[in-house]
Amino acid sequence: MSSLFTLILYKMLGFERRAVVLQEGQTAESIAQLTRKGGMVPPLDFVDIAQKTTTAVVHITAKYGNTNASSNKRNNRQNNINDLFRDFFGDNDPFGQMPRNGQRGESTGSGVILTADGYIVTNNHVVADATEIEVSLNDKRTYKAEVIGTSPATDLAVIRIKEKGLTFLAFGNSDVLKVGEWVVAVGNPFNLQSTVTSGIVSAKGRNLNLLKNERGRGDNTTKLAPVESFIQTDAVVNPGNSGGALVNTKGELIGINTAIASPTGSFAGYSFAVPSNLVKKIVKDLIDFGAVQRGYLGASIRDLDGKLAEEKGIKDLTQGAYIEAVQEGSAADEGGLKESDIVVGVDGRKIKSSAELLEEIAKRSPNDKLALSVKRNGTEKTINVYLKNEEGKKGLIGKKSNNDIQKALGADFSNLTSKEKSSLSISGGAKVENITGGKIGQQTDIREGFIVTKLNGQPIKDAEDLLNKLKTTKGGVLLSGMYPDDDTNTEYYYGFGM
């Protein structure tokens, strides 16, 4: 199936570091010259842009293996259909091709090559929970890809293929993108490879509540705090474009196509992309740390509009991010931000909505300083805050320990005795004990006593080996093994997402 999030909006409208350099676009004359002296407007030509971009956009196929030799719990991807889907389609897959329990399946999408040595950005929903990822280049070469890291809160993921000398796209500056500018979308809609469409920027800073229920598949404990500040365009985007490129007239990457608003599942005039300045921050964190190093303000905010301004007695101001509450001990609290403050700027950039403020915060890391322009009792002042990490502390978040992994999985693991290995004719494995919930309890039918012999096809020596491998695994996990009391010699398979 195609893995594009489709928004049914009509009823609502009305992480060892790696030295990786992400290229930025250089100031240059636009490829597409729209005007000449004398007022002539020549035909708009996207040939150079298309040739430059299509070689850096890839087709991604995410495969999902059988999750169980018997039956698995309700398919995790189906579990996470957004409420907007559910309201319109019930519990059915809107494209009718979602892998069901006990079935193999696959989804498809697009990705953008960012470095010559194979780092690729795509949408998290394209690769989430996949047990195998295949990448096809524009010249038909295919590769197996590994997941480097994911960010459900921004619906972004980084994968990598083993190759050198690849054509890649440089980042443009999405902050200077203006409504009305021409843009080009490149992706693989409906498996139609390297499709190029064009349009204009229709709006910026769109918050659609698309990610409000996404926590990583079946994980009810992960802190999400979604960030949505989409670039809206009218460039034709369809299922399969997810993770594809949105470029400006210089051929620079200014967004990752993520969603469409449609009553049918196909393009209807509204498409949405994650802005490149946010993408760049997330990608760098995922490559360097394996996880997003995100800064938190520690305040509840909402859009200021005319209605709220009237309700709160606010005069001469109907735009900004209104502070509803400040968490004690948070960055906002320590910086002096107060309830009823209105944030109208960040580091010199005007802020018109909560989405724009969240985007600016999401582009920063823990300990980063923000100069907030704040209206308080009709007077504007500057408040400096130093962001904290998701644990409410200063500094970056380190890599997860084995204890962290066990807690997330909701189970303990023990080593097999020599007698057990001999009786089962196996050389190693890890026994599952004390299931208390977590991913194993919530996403699989694994029973206590199950012996894990392989992780994603790789042999497991003992419990420590399993946990160490899981620490570096991103995306889909496929455990295979056996039950000691099963006389049928059946090999069982269980899948879940990390």
CA angle 415, 416, 419 (to 5 degrees): 155
- With contact defined as beta carbons under 8 Å apart, do 278 and 227 qualify? yes
Q: Which residue has the tokens 């130093």?
A: 386
- With contact defined as beta carbons under 8 Å apart, do 172 and 318 qualify? no
Q: State the catalytic residue, choosing from 59, 110, 125, 229.
A: 125
Query: What phi, psi does 397 have (nearest 5°)?
Result: -85, 130
Q: How far apart are CA 315 and CA 311, in angstroms?
A: 11
Q: State the catalytic residue, choosing from 2, 151, 155, 262.
A: 155
303 catalytic residue (yes or no): no
Q: Which residue has the tokens 């090999």?
A: 491
CA angle 159, 252, 47 (to 5 degrees): 110
Query: What phi, psi does 264 have (nearest 5°)?
Result: -120, -15
91 catalytic residue (yes or no): no
DSSP sequence for 331-377: HHHHHT--TT-EEEEETTEE--SHHHHHHHHHTS-TT-EEEEEEEET
Tell me which H or E stretch contains 149.
strand 142-151
Beta strands 379-386; 369-376: pairing state: antiparallel
Query: What phi, psi does 478 have (nearest 5°)?
Result: -120, 110
Tell me which H or E stretch contains 284.
helix 276-289
Q: Which residues contact 368 (CB under 8 A, 6 or more apart)?
A: 295, 386, 387
Question: Six-digit token pair at 352?
Answer: 């018109």
Q: Which residue has the tokens 């190759």?
A: 163
Please classify residue 13 by burial: count the beta carbons closer than 10 Å to its beta carbon, then call 0-12 exposed, 13-18 middle and 19+ buried.
exposed
Q: How far apart are CA 372 and CA 150, in angstroms?
A: 29
59 catalytic residue (yes or no): no
Please classify residue 278 by burial: count the beta carbons closer than 10 Å to its beta carbon, then call 0-12 exposed, 13-18 middle and 19+ buried.
buried
- With contact defined as beta carbons under 8 Å apart, do 99 and 64 qualify? yes
Q: CB 451: neighbour CB atoms within 10 A?
A: 23
Q: State the catalytic residue, choosing from 3, 194, 198, 242.
A: 242
Percentages of the chain per state (helix, strand, coil), in multiples of 5:
20, 30, 50
Beta strands 270-275; 230-233: pairing state: antiparallel
Q: How far apart are CA 86 and CA 213, in angstroms?
A: 12
Q: How far apart are CA 492 and CA 66, in angstroms?
A: 9
Strand, coil or helix: 272: strand
Q: Any idea which residues carry the catalytic annotation?
A: 125, 155, 242
